[in-house]
Structure 1
Amino acid sequence: MNESPPLPRKDHRPAATRSETVRRVSHMLSWALIGLLLYAVNAFVAEAAHHAGLVTYVFTRTLIWSIAPYLCAFALLQRALHLPAMEGNSLIGVAVTLPFAALLFVFAAFHIEYSRGALLLGFLTTLVWTWSGYRRYVSNYVPVFGYTDPNALRQLEEILQVAGPDGAMPTGLARFEPIATLEAAASCDGLMLDRNAAADPERTRMLAKLKLSHVRMYSVEKIGEMLTGRVGLSHIDDNFLDDYASHYLYGYAKRALDLAAVACLAPLALPLALGTALAVRLDSPGPVLFRQVRAGLYGKPFTILKFRSMSFDAGAPARFAARQDPRVTRVGRIIRKYRLDEIPQLWNVLCGHMSLIGPRPEQIPMVEQFSDTIPYYPYRHLVRPGLSGWAQVEQGYVGSMEETVTKLSYDLYYVKHCSFALDLLIAVKTLRTMMTGYGAR
């Protein structure tokens, strides 16, 4: 994060097109339209190859079909531009793969003849073009935010400096400039405001002029979330409840998707579950399943199911899992690393106790302790807990109070911004976690 003196305005476009969100959308839309020329060239070459007898007419027709998932990919990416730019590679992978997978499903469901080579060509063309556009206009771009309140920059530094080893303040993600004139503000991507600044007639008049000039305005807290994917805990207030994403249609649709996903995963999950259960039984004495009461939606307790990965001790108190924890069995280390111990929680999803995506449910004694020591901790229970969540894919398991504070900043970001775009991003990063064992203890 850099602070520099005001720069002279060299771009005379309207200020509205220079705001961070609008700028990303407009440039990516232009990039998508230019990319259609690539499909035109591909179709022209394919048609020439067809007349030369090198490919069939199906090749050209499949390329034309691929335009639909190409446009859908940019539409999905546009819907996800509010997420931190550091997640670009994962966002692009999700945005491109899903539409082409849907097109493949349509071909299979309606018995439409298609060319695998043409579909692969369309997929690679879309992947490369979206990635290059995102790198050019989003991830490699350093936005410039102006500020008029002297304390705004200091407050942002406090928000970004979250406690814990994974909460270091990021640098180089944006530039911040003090501004005093309308012209200086118009050259920035947005204006950073301190919501708690004292009312002042002169400040109010200036902000009104900036607003009428279509200058994009962000609170200090909003910019902190845009840069890091975390919520600044030191600046949470009662207004958080007004911002949290309570969308009834989203909740019902997500529940339907959870049920459909469990049904689709069942043929794969059942054999894995049987193999894991057998390994746990042969490895150490004790029950195969581990049951524990945890806090669910709105703090309501439920019994979570897991394959036992530790030596059995019925009277053990609730505590964090340490690195190289001696309680973990030989089989337990493997199933914890690749998250195979979580397979029984598909039953919790089926019963409605959990979702596939959401904050991880905590043990009741820990919830009571954290609720007394960490302000606004209960807000994480505003959404249904999940098998995997934003904190898990960004931070991994936690083992201390400091790490729990950082984890809460990620959980509350999900509570505030939960959406299908964010859920898809978490799902992709969860697959990476399962393959690499990232964050296991």
Structure 2
Amino acid sequence: MAEIKVSRKACSVYPLKLSQPLGAIYALLGVKGSMPLVHGSQGCAAFAKTFLTRYFSENIPMQTTALSEIATVLGRDDELHIALKTIMEKHNPELVGVVTTGVSETRGDDTEGSVKRFKELYPDYVYKKIICISTPDYKGSFHDGYREALLSLVKGLVVQPYRKSYGYVNLLVSYALTAKDIDTLREVIESFGLKPIILPDLSSMDGACKGFSSITPDGTELKKIETMSSSMVTIAVGESTKEAGEYLEKKFMIPMFFFDSLLGIENFDRFIRLLMNISGKEPSANLRRWRDRLLDAMVDGHFYLTGKRAAVAGEPDVVYAMVDLLVRELGMEVPIAVVPTISEHIRSLPIENVLVGDLEDILLSKVDIDFVLGNTNLRHVAKKLKVPHYRVGLPIFDRLGHFLKGYVGYEGTANLVFELANLLMERDEEMSYEVPEHIKRRRA
């Protein structure tokens, strides 16, 4: 059991936390024909748009109510109504996700009531899908915003089933999964003769879309989300998806199976056994082959990985997946892990110290480590510690193609093991060329 401590510094240095609205917008990008509407000042949306554009290197559909100082003080619905009307007229999205911010939440806006009044004023849009997501950015983090968005999507869009659809499986995926990861899980589920309904389907953000679109051009279709109540089971991957899965289980009596992570042999074996039980089929020869390759990768890499010490930082789902793999299956040590917000599943990790803080806390801990794992912003810490930096999580701005890398499953884990081993192999080789300190002093 990990002990979670909270940093008591007066300021944040090398910040780690990302805001709740950003997490909600991220989730909405995985729904086809959606338009995230940020209910706050123009700067709130500008930051999120810049952040996501840099991360995906793609056009990001997003609008804002652009609350001014006067509008904020007066507290009327006008800005939200004008924004919704403009979006409907110019973009005609299938879904609008109203994402609140610190400004609108502090003002105490009744966003859902405002949406109801909008439909009364403009009856032409009464059947348009509009969901409200409460994401005050003065508390929580990206993890919490993503979780709230996913819960709002299933609450607002899933309808009562007419009948159960044999062979359909709901797959709720964490923000920790890349486009390649989502495609991998889709292919694995389909190899068992099952049909997955993936929410949100962010594999559409892989850059393969053609042409310009002012709304999300691909992702999970609304009609598929509406029919999730007819599926046989729900598979939730990552703690950020758990509440949405529990809602579907309680509301529509759909059995839910939860996985904290799908990295590593043990976790993915459980996933495969579940699919075998649901479908009654055996895994494909390709899956068996990749499992053998992963075992061989672990044998080859253990010379460079076993006993090595790593510091891990990022959002809770990313940290859990990485620490779980490093410690339980690769024999490594993680003397410190840093997360921006408390998440209960982190307590079950087999390490001693988890700190709720920022990236500087890794420096202040003064622990002896061999490398660090985290997003782009961790590069400053790695440089000061003079250790290698393995980039994982988000954002990653200083490398291309991250979103097309896979981590889950046998194949993804095997590639990850090789990358980590090569990183440390290169470091060990460079260190072998360095002159030891005692020889430097003797020569001086």
TM-score > 0.5, shorter chain as reference:
no
Between Structure 1 and Structure 2, whose CA radius of gyration is higher? 1
Higher helix proportion: 1
The TM-score normalised by the length of structure 1 is 0.24
Higher strand proportion: 2
